[in-house]
Copies of this chain bind each other. A is one copy, B any other.
Amino acid sequence: MAAVIENYWVTVLKALAHPTRLQIVIELLQGTKCVNDIHDLLPASQANISQHLTVLRNARIVDFAQDGSQRCYYVCRPELVAGVLALLRNEQPERKGSQPSVLATHNQR
Q: Determine the chain B residues whose CB is within 8 A of the CB of A60 once the complex forms.
A: 93
In the complex, which residues of chain B have a beta carbon less than 8 angstroms from the beta carbon of A10?
17-19, 22
Contact B6 A103 (CB under 8 A): no
Point out the residues of chain B lying under 8 angstroms from A32, CB to CB: 100, 102-106
Residue numbers in B under 8 Å from A83 (CB-CB): 83, 87
A87 to B32, CA, bound (A): 22
Q: Chain A contact residues (Cβ within 8 angstroms of B): what range?
A: 35 or more
| Least CB distance, A86 to chain B, in whole angstroms | 8
Shortest distance in angstroms between A43's beta carbon and chain B's nearest beta carbon?
11
Residue-wise interface mask of A (4-33) relative to B, using a CB-CB cutoff of 8 A (1 in contact, 0 not): 001111101110111100110000000111
A24 to chain B, nearest CB (A): 12
Which A residues contact B (CB, under 8 angstroms)?
6-10, 12-14, 16-19, 22-23, 31-34, 36-37, 60, 63, 65, 67, 72, 74, 76-80, 83-85, 87-88, 90-91, 93, 97, 99-100, 102-107, 109
The 8 closest A-B pairs by CB, nearest first: A13-B17, A31-B105, A14-B17, A65-B102, A83-B87, A32-B106, A9-B88, A17-B17
